[in-house]
Amino acid sequence: AQSVTQLGSHVSVSEGALVLLRCNYSSSVPPYLFWYVQYPNQGLQLLLKYTSAATLVKGINGFEAEFKKSETSFHLTEPSAHMSDAAEYFCAVSHSGGGADGLTFGKGTHLIIQP
């Protein structure tokens, strides 16, 4: 079974500071990994995804994530936090069986931006 662990249910950073949201996965086969963001009362928006083409993945809004197989991690970073980044962030892994088993999500990390 595949699983995702997001360390820290809440992360608080100052505006302009580095954002680091942690995600570790377990998978018996090479995974496909995703980061989604959810703003209040909205659905999920894809930030970026890893599909084995490159270990450093760049996404929208300045976010990027690095796949580290040795650490089974896929941490999300943004060099400079903006107030508009305040939201819930979800890391997800796609099952080897394809979309048939759906995405497995972490519990989410609530990002708080301090002015």
Partner 1 sequence: KAGVTQTPRYLIKTRGQQVTLSCSPISGHRSVSWYQQTPGQGLQFLFEYFSETQRNKGNFPGRFSGRQFSNSRSEMNVSTLELGDSALYLCASSLSAGVQETQYFGPGTRLLVL
Binding span for partner 1 by CB under 8 A among 13-21, 66-74, 79-87, 88-96: 88-96
Q: Does 46 bind partner 1 (CB under 8 A)?
A: yes
Give the number of other CB atoms < 10 A from CB of residue 38: 15
Residues 6+ apart with CB under 8 A from 88: 37, 38, 39, 108, 109, 110, 111
First vs last C-alpha separation in the chain: 41
Which residue in 95, 109, 110, 111 binds partner 1 (CB under 8 A)? 95
Residue number with CB closer to partner 1 (42 or 114): 42
Binding span for partner 1 by CB under 8 A among 10-18, 30-38, 62-70, 72-80: 30-38
